[in-house]
Amino acid sequence: MGLFSGLIDKFKQGLQRTQELVLAPMGRLLGLKRLDEDQLMELEELLLQADLGVHATDRLMERLRFEMKRSSEIDPKAVLKDELLKILHQAPPRPFTAEGNQVVLLVGVNGVGKTTTLGKIAAQFKARGEEVLVVAGDTFRAAAIDQLELWGQRAGVPVLRNQMGGDPAAVAFDGAMSAKAKNIPWVLIDTAGRLHTKDHLMRELDKIRRSLQKVIPEAPHRVLLVLDATTGQNGLQQAEAFKQVAGITDLVLTKLDGSAKGGVVVPILERLKLPIAFVGVGEKVDDLIPFDPEAFVDGLLDV
């Protein structure tokens, strides 16, 4: 099994609920050489149910009609794939390359999967031979720090913490100092869940940023906004608010495995014009896939 087909399988596995509950009937339609008006409407309905969004769905339907005008026989799957990739390539993923000290901040509302995602990323970077320092910037709850320490143990990487209730900006500062002194390429900073509507909590992110910059002027190099795919397009509003305040550079979509709306990746990327760095497809350490538009679309349309 090639690396790429392995990746498609991972996406397929993550999109299983979307496939079973929504997309399964699409297989028959995608096998046709032409679609009549009823079949086009049926396809449109399925794409909307999978949460691809009105805009992308319109684009896909228009493209299918256009191709059917141009030739008597078409390959609907290839047409959809091509058009979906055009959309997803508006914000292609950027690689995570260890150069100097790279500081990565994870932010998002409560319970979306920030800490879990951080743990998985730490394990993946460590497994490829790069040192990682994890910083417990969620100082609100003792349980949050314990959860992070467990992930640190699993990944085999150190976790820097201060006392509970301490200043997140202070522990972030210490993390940056330590990584710089020890030449650790990755500093991954967990933060407490915060509602995008709470001003003081959003300002705290700015304070973390300023503390980091006292040590590493370019930090944070990446700010990952973690979104829960099961909330579908409702996550967009959160995302807009975080994008304005927190200087988001990338998105992470978690819990794709628990969602029948796996297509939501498309409108989210389309609206926010931000690359998707990873998608979460389960609770285990391996259940985080670096986003790849081709493998994702193949996984989605392989019905």
The smaller minimum CB distance to Mg ion, of residues 115 and 211, is found at 115
Return d(Cα 201, Cα 218) in angstroms, integer: 22
| Count of residues that bind ligand GTP according to CB under 6 A | 20
- 115 binds Mg ion per the rule CB under 5 A: yes
Which CA distances in Å does 86 have to 191, 268, 291? 34, 14, 15
What span, in angstroms and rounded, lies between the C-alpha atoms of 88 and 19? 20
Kindly write out the interface string for residues 134-163 of this chain, putting x where it contacts ligand GTP by CB under 6 A and - elsewhere. ----x-----x-------------------
- Report the nearest approach of ligand GTP to the CB of residue 248 (Å): 15
Among 12, 114, 161, 222, binds ligand GTP (CB under 6 A): 114
**Cβ distance 179 to 101 under 8 Å?**
yes
Interacting partner of 280 out of Mg ion, ligand GTP, none (Cβ under 5 to 8 A depending on kind): ligand GTP
Nearest to 266 by CA among 83, 42, 112: 83
For the window 228-267, what string marks contact with ligand GTP as x by the rule CB under 6 A? --------------------------xx-xx---------
Which two tokens mark 230? 């099961």
Torsion angles phi and psi, residue 53, rounded to 5:
90, 155
104 contributes a contact to ligand GTP by CB under 6 A: no
Question: Which CB sits closer to ligand GTP, 31 or 111?
Answer: 111
b/e 82-119 (16+ beta carbons within 10 angstroms → b): ebbeebbeebebeebeeeebbbbbbbbbeebbbbbbbb
Cα within 13 Å of Cα(132), Cβ side: 29
Q: 77 or 114, CB closer to Mg ion?
A: 114
Q: Which residues bind Mg ion (CB under 5 A)?
A: 114-115
Q: Which residues bind ligand GTP (CB under 6 A)?
A: 108, 110-116, 138, 144, 193, 254-255, 257-258, 280-283, 287
